[in-house]
Amino acid sequence: MAADWNINLSKVSAAKNDCQVCALLLRTAKRHCNNDEQNVQIDRERSALKIRSGGPPILRLCSDSAALPTRLVFVGDPDRDVLPDPDVLSLYSPKESDNVEYVALSHCWGKLPKNVKPRFCTTDDNIKARFEEFVFSELPKTFQDAVRITRELGIQYLWIDSLCIIQGNQKDWEHEAKRMEDVFASAYCTIAATSAVDSKAGFLERNVRGEYVYAQDASGRRFYVCTDIDDFDNDVKKARLNTRAWVMQERVLSRRTIHFSANQTYFECGKGVYCENLTRLKSSSGKTYFMLDPNFPDRLFTSGNKRTREFIHSISEEYSRYGIFQTYLHRNLLWQASGNKMERIVYENRHVPSWSWMAYYGGIQFMKIPFDTVDWIANLQFDEECKLALFTKVGEFRNCMIQPDRKNYALLYSGKKEKGWIQYDVEKGEDLCKERCVVVGRKSNKYGDGLDVKEYYILVVRPTGVDGEYSRVGVGLIQSDYVVRQEPNVRVV
């Protein structure tokens, strides 16, 4: 439900000492308003408070009650004196009034043979029976291990995608995909089957064990010394599970995650990563925004999994458009191909704009730009009227020429001096007269002659044929003297 209010900032300021909400609203609103602006419109869209309709979210209303999944697997009640048959599980649909905790499983499916898939998945044919019961021993080992861990944690319910989403039912998939954010964000914890290559492998058995010895003083106090096998990067980040695109989303959304790697178990939460030997590692940078992970869009998207891209879009639409976050709009727009080949995806039921990496097959990476080194262009923003468009100014190249360097990559020269570069997304250009550019940010660089030269980070665009409308064809960096501003108030689609 949407609602809007006109807020007088002077009145809010007068109440800030007695009202913490007023103080917070004032601080956040001032970041997005002009200094002389006294009255602002605040829109509420679901849990987000925004400045003006379509504007950036500034506050979020938090609820004490967690949003529950549509279905959960009941694994047993640990508080009962007599435990039920441990081989019997059942599906359960929680009610809104239920106050239940559950664990979510993050795992690799692998390629399941057709003859076993019905046993491992919930379908239209077996869902009714599964609400009565189904058998633990018939599940793949990864699922069995997840059930064991859930029971050991004293939790009654477990969420596994292939059991809690009706497989082969497109309507149910579309409904549940939009709720994935809540599933992982509301879970008591996430079990990451990091070492399991597929559903049948399991993750509790491992061959590697850390060695330790201890010494004891006269009072009986002990201290322990163990071999150092902590390697979160290789054990977790580079494990097969974390090459899957959706898993970064699950890590970011989860309140806490237990990673069962091939070498040891890691516990990850907002305060950092803890190892089995109780060593604490630094917090994962991915906890900020998963889209800042330069490897994220390259996580097996080369397979062209449209469903995965649609899933990422559906669960992040409150915060972004087509995988581009409002908070880091400029940085996220500066993506480029990481491999040799990109190809535009033809979506059946929707159009994805050219400025989004979700519009292309092939791996990508983000430009490596240190923080606090670039002045981002304020007039580049999401179009409030059209979700497919960026609203901005466009410029043209001057006094320089293009020289192809390698596939889809070109250098920009003025005379014999290099002045910048362009990397094309799909089809390289040969004539700068046909190209235009959108300045995303500017920075200063000192060159060998001591001159302070300003450079522009740019999107390379071409006219679509519609007046005032352009499409992205590439990205680049060029010295500012070789771009002239030309046309304001255009759209990039």
pLDDT of residue 271: 77
Residue 272 pLDDT level (bands cut at 50, 70, 90)? confident
pLDDT of residue 141: 94
- 3-state DSSP assignment of residue 23: helix
Residues with Cβ within 8 Å of residue 129, at least 6 apart in sequence? none
Round to whole Å and give the CA distance between 284 and 233: 10
pLDDT of residue 2: 45
pLDDT of residue 260: 95
Residue predicted with more confidence, 309 or 358: 358
Residue predicted with more confidence, 323 or 82: 323
Give the highest mean pLDDT range of 19-23, 277-281, 304-308: 277-281
pLDDT of residue 266: 92
Torsion sign over Cα 115, 120, 124, 128: positive
Q: Are 371 and 406 in contact (CB under 8 A)?
A: no
Residues with Cβ within 8 Å of residue 403, at least 6 apart in sequence? 410, 411, 412, 413
pLDDT of residue 36: 64
pLDDT of residue 37: 66
Q: How many percent of the chain have pLDDT more than 70?
A: 80
Residue predicted with more confidence, 380 or 321: 380
pLDDT of residue 94: 92
Other CB atoms within 10 Å distance of the CB of residue 275:
20
Which helix (H) or strand (E) is 411 found in, with range?
strand 409-414
The residue-averaged pLDDT of 55-65 equals 60
The residue-averaged pLDDT of 247-271 equals 85
State how beta strands 102-106 and 189-192 pair: parallel
Round to whole Å and give the CA distance between 199 and 121: 11
Residue predicted with more confidence, 397 or 339: 397
Residue 61 pLDDT level (bands cut at 50, 70, 90)? low
Q: Are 109 and 243 in contact (CB under 8 A)?
A: no
Q: Are 54 and 45 in contact (CB under 8 A)?
A: no
472 has pLDDT over 50: yes
The residue-averaged pLDDT of 51-68 equals 62
The residue type of 127 is: I
Out of 169-173, 293-297, 435-439, 445-449, least confident range: 293-297
The residue-averaged pLDDT of 317-323 equals 68
- 3-state DSSP assignment of residue 420: strand
Out of 43-52, 290-299, 472-481, least confident range: 290-299
Instruction: Kindly report, residue by residue over 403-458, the tens digit of the pLDDT.
Output: 877 767 788 888 888 899 999 998 777 778 889 999 999 987 755 555 678 899 99
Round to whole Å and give the CA distance between 399 and 432: 10
Alpha-carbon distances of 220 from 217, 223, 333, rounded to whole Å:
5, 10, 60
Alpha-carbon distances of 246 from 241, 298, 329, 344, rounded to whole Å:
10, 11, 21, 21
Round to whole Å and give the CA distance between 8 and 413: 53
The residue-averaged pLDDT of 353-376 equals 87
The dihedrals phi and psi of 427, each to the nearest 5 degrees, come to -115, 120
The residue-averaged pLDDT of 95-104 equals 87
pLDDT of residue 392: 95
pLDDT of residue 290: 41
Out of 47-61, 230-244, 329-343, 418-432, least confident range: 47-61
Instruction: Single out the residue of 381, 245, 217, 241 nearest to residue 312, CA to CA.
Output: 245
pLDDT of residue 142: 94
As a whole number, the mean pLDDT across the chain is 81
pLDDT of residue 303: 43
Q: Are 72 and 158 in contact (CB under 8 A)?
A: yes
pLDDT of residue 289: 43
Instruction: Single out the residue of 61, 75, 88, 58 nearest to residue 1, CA to CA.
Output: 61
Residue 79 pLDDT level (bands cut at 50, 70, 90)? low
pLDDT of residue 466: 93
Q: Are 245 and 299 in contact (CB under 8 A)?
A: yes
Q: How many percent of the chain have pLDDT more than 90?
A: 32
193 has pLDDT over 80: yes
Instruction: Single out the residue of 207, 288, 306, 219 nearest to residue 251, CA to CA.
Output: 288
Round to whole Å and give the CA distance between 78 and 473: 58
Other CB atoms within 10 Å distance of the CB of residue 233:
10
pLDDT of residue 52: 63
316 has pLDDT over 60: no
The residue type of 318 is: E
300 has pLDDT over 50: no
pLDDT of residue 5: 66
- Whole-structure pTM value: 0.57
pLDDT of residue 153: 93
238 has pLDDT over 60: yes
Instruction: Kindly report, residue by residue over 144-163, the tens digit of the pLDDT.
Output: 999 999 999 999 999 999 99
Q: Where are the beta strands (DSSP E) in 447-482?
A: 452-463, 469-479
pLDDT of residue 151: 94
pLDDT of residue 451: 65
CB-hemisphere CA count at 13 Å for 286?
20
Out of 143-157, 283-297, 374-388, least confident range: 283-297
The residue type of 91 is: L
